Amino acid sequence: MARDEDEPLTKRRRLEPLFLDSLGIEELRSYIDELRTEIARVEADIGRKSSHRSAADAFFKKT
């Protein structure tokens, strides 16, 4: 089925929400630690890509 041009694009979810009702406090804390680790990994990659982009921009900068 084709998408109607007037419909807004939906963002794809990267992580599925976890059903929290069945988790205890320690499991929730562990889950938070996992998420923080993933956030740190993604932020490090953003930093790496930003520095590569800055280097490329400086190299190709028009004078």
Q: Which two tokens stand for residue 46?
A: 């953003």
What is the model's pLDDT at position 48? Answer: 94
- What distance in Å separates the CA atoms of residue 46 and residue 40, rounded to the nearest whole number? 10
The percentage of the chain sitting over the pLDDT mark of 70, rounded to a whole number, equals 89
Q: Each residue of 34-60: pLDDT tens digit?
A: 999 999 999 999 999 998 888 888 888
Domain boundaries in the chain? 23-63
To the question of pTM greater than 0.85 for the whole model, the response is no
What is the model's pLDDT at position 62? Answer: 64
Rounded to an integer, the average pLDDT of 11-26 is: 90
DSSP for residue 62: -
- What distance in Å separates the CA atoms of residue 12 and residue 27, rounded to the nearest whole number? 26
